[in-house]
Structure 1
């Protein structure tokens, strides 16, 4: 953004400073120059955006996006994923490494970052793999990955099943100040499952994945974070048990952070009764008690970030029988309205909701995003909290 832009009369939400005020926000040369009282900013020779009744927030940050490039461009690519992100208000996204080939070296990290810059619709960051080829055997070269610009390491899409290897990963990543993003799942318990294990899976005749498959893995990884002093990030938390484990870990001062996905705080396993394969994701939709626990975790700060786990597939992979469909659904375009639903229900305050989309995930990555202070980059979203649209 060049020149001078004035966003007038907006409700300016700044999670970094806990600020919530009505005013004008002035942008020059891509940087926030000042915030003034409503109507006080000079508008001569400026582009003026009238934001009365709108919220003016930092650009959203998504820690968890599957862009499918390289190798799976028939599902999604960096251009289409960036467009979806921008449409949803996300100015920064982190690409997961479970591509073909796996992003497990510096050259591929460079490729993701360069492609994102060439597309130019949002800031595309890269996470490198924990293990070479995501094979769960030897560790990937974290130093090379970090030097190339990666902001995290993860084998997301599958867990690091070997506890000793996960220990080494936390130690190795600690030395490079990289968070380890954990897909917390015990494979032996999850094997053969297509949805949450419970009364609905029994009624539908579908193999179930018990909540314990996540709880056991979260407990293990928290213990390893305690042992190593590593930076542990729990991805897509879906159970009440995991929320409580993370809450206790934070109370003990451990370096544990966590995210929740909009589908997990918006739906429960009863949605699967339609056999709509868009309800098939991993971890699966859980019980209503789990959904409520996730909302409570977002409200009290146990869960630091809202992350979409945006995971598109082609129609040939989803327009099939439920037990044959791939896990995953899109989320970049729907995260904001689903989050605002929590505000309308009074489960989250406006400031808390925006914090989980901005300042919370920014802190995970050590970014300066998420602030509306003078001098901060002008990653800005103007949104109508009462707006409606049809998907």
Structure 2
């Protein structure tokens, strides 16, 4: 049995909603005991008064295996995740080919187990080929290790097919992850409609496209009783519908990407394609409303929505460029902007980054309690740096934070009690 002691830290406990001085004793990969105060026992690692928190559980990471390994592999994504304090990646099935069969899922699990230094839990596609015509073998995929089902940014337009898939998922207790952008209105759009998009000559989509699809998803969840997680909720107009659905007892949670929490449409500036994401960046009023929704608990999860793209797919005119941004290494320092601005407390931040995604997926991570896995991140929230995209460990370098002044350095990451970074 291996014993590791981390002492003289500031423990962030999202379950108790508190920060307190202390440390942890780790045995056999799990937290064996909590240590109070700032004493440093013999043989302990001195954390120097820095913050020690549950490792981040990132719900919605794209690793480009199979099919596009040049963009991101499990090895490179694992290193990037560890450097960013992410100890569990919940990976998306929007690969080439899609992860829609037990055989493809087993391939992903083998590669992840062999190559990634952090935990990897895969999602599977809800319909075959993510084409929205025929549902996948949800039961077999669950048995093979799928933790949730999603067609990612391809909305299942056929309501009959979708309702059948949701009904089947409910019968098996499976979680469905939905993308709420009305597909016809959103087709071809690369910006949020309004003055900025008009001045730049960019094709826009109304924020109501999100509200319309959310209303449809809520109605189907009510009809089928399915467990539903909205991957990204980004507009103020959608929030009242989510609040009503939760108040009415529907099993619905929602997330938001760190880019929509910390950036707005004006950051696109002179057609900077690293800021082209899906859904598009929103108005500042929307951003502030969504930040408040995270603070209040209405939105449950903050994720990176890590989407690697190569240089060739980004060095195109804005409307033709691929959507998406990498985020594994920038998730924590970007999220700390919300802490430094006073919008979120440290426990509140890690409730959205670690505890809530763990709860939604029925994982025992995301906690600082005896018996929990020793998946941990040690960080200095005040350490300043200038983001250099070429220093990122991801294979792809498409970060919107390139050249930005940021605060927050990860000093150590542990997965199952084993230090994988720092």
Q: How is 1:153-164 mapped onto 2 (pairs within 5 angstroms)?
A: 153-164=149-160
Report SS of the residue matched to 1:68.
Answer: coil
TM-score, normalized by length of structure 2? 0.89
* 1:389, distance to aligned residue in structure 2 (A): 2.3
Aligned partners of 1:23, 1:84: CA distance in 2, in Å?
28
1:14–1:370 contact (8 Å) kept in structure 2: no
Gaps of 5+ in 2: 388-422
TM-score, normalized by length of structure 1? 0.96
1:5-53 CA-to-partner distances (Å, cap 9, x unmatched) read 221111111213434311121112211111122244632xx3x322233
Q: 1:215 aligns with which of 211, 215, 224?
A: 211
Aligned partners of 2:49, 2:333: CA distance in 1, in Å?
16
Report SS of the residue matched to 2:6.
Answer: strand
Residue 243 of structure 2 corresponds to residue 244 of structure 1: no
Q: How is 1:319-358 mapped onto 2 (pairs within 5 angstroms)?
A: 319-358=315-354
Residue 95 of structure 2 corresponds to residue 99 of structure 1: yes
Q: Which residue of 1 aligns with 2:165?
A: 169
Q: How is 1:282-301 mapped onto 2 (pairs within 5 angstroms)?
A: 282-301=278-297
Q: How is 1:8-87 mapped onto 2 (pairs within 5 angstroms)?
A: 8-40=7-39, 42-43=41-42, 46=43, 48-87=44-83
Q: How is 1:100-115 mapped onto 2 (pairs within 5 angstroms)?
A: 100-115=96-111
Q: CA RMSD in A?
A: 1.3
1:304-358 CA-to-partner distances (Å, cap 9, x unmatched) read 1101110010000001111110011111111111111111111111100011110
Q: Residues 359 and 94 of structure 1: is their aligned pair in 2 closer, same or farther, counting only changes over 3 Å? A: same
1:75–1:312 contact (8 Å) kept in structure 2: yes
2:7–2:41 contact (8 Å) kept in structure 1: no
Q: Please, which moves more after superposition, 166-175 or 299-308?
A: 166-175
Q: How is 1:146-295 mapped onto 2 (pairs within 5 angstroms)?
A: 146-295=142-291
Gaps of 5+ in 1: none
Aligned partners of 2:30, 2:125: CA distance in 1, in Å?
33
Report SS of the residue matched to 1:128.
Answer: coil
1:241-275 CA-to-partner distances (Å, cap 9, x unmatched) read 22221122111111010101111011111111221
2:273–2:318 contact (8 Å) kept in structure 1: yes
Q: How is 1:354-373 mapped onto 2 (pairs within 5 angstroms)?
A: 354-373=350-369
Structure 1 runs (4+) deviating above 6 angstroms are none
Alignment coverage as a number of residue pairs:
387
Aligned partners of 2:384, 2:113: CA distance in 1, in Å?
31
Aligned partners of 1:294, 1:114: CA distance in 2, in Å?
37
Aligned partners of 1:375, 1:364: CA distance in 2, in Å?
19
Q: Please, which moves more after superposition, 15-24 or 342-351?
A: 15-24
Report SS of the residue matched to 2:23.
Answer: strand
2:127–2:136 contact (8 Å) kept in structure 1: yes
Report SS of the residue matched to 2:319.
Answer: helix
Q: Please, which moves more after superposition, 87-96 or 19-28?
A: 19-28
Report SS of the residue matched to 1:354.
Answer: helix
Q: Please, which moves more after superposition, 216-225 or 184-193?
A: 184-193
Aligned partners of 1:130, 1:59: CA distance in 2, in Å?
28
Report SS of the residue matched to 2:364.
Answer: coil
Aligned partners of 2:327, 2:247: CA distance in 1, in Å?
31
1:112–1:124 contact (8 Å) kept in structure 2: no
1:60-118 CA-to-partner distances (Å, cap 9, x unmatched) read 10110111110011211111111111111111011111111110011111221221111
Report SS of the residue matched to 1:76.
Answer: coil
1:200-248 CA-to-partner distances (Å, cap 9, x unmatched) read 1100001112111111101100111111111111011111122221122
1:112–1:125 contact (8 Å) kept in structure 2: no
Report SS of the residue matched to 2:385.
Answer: coil
Report SS of the residue matched to 2:359.
Answer: helix
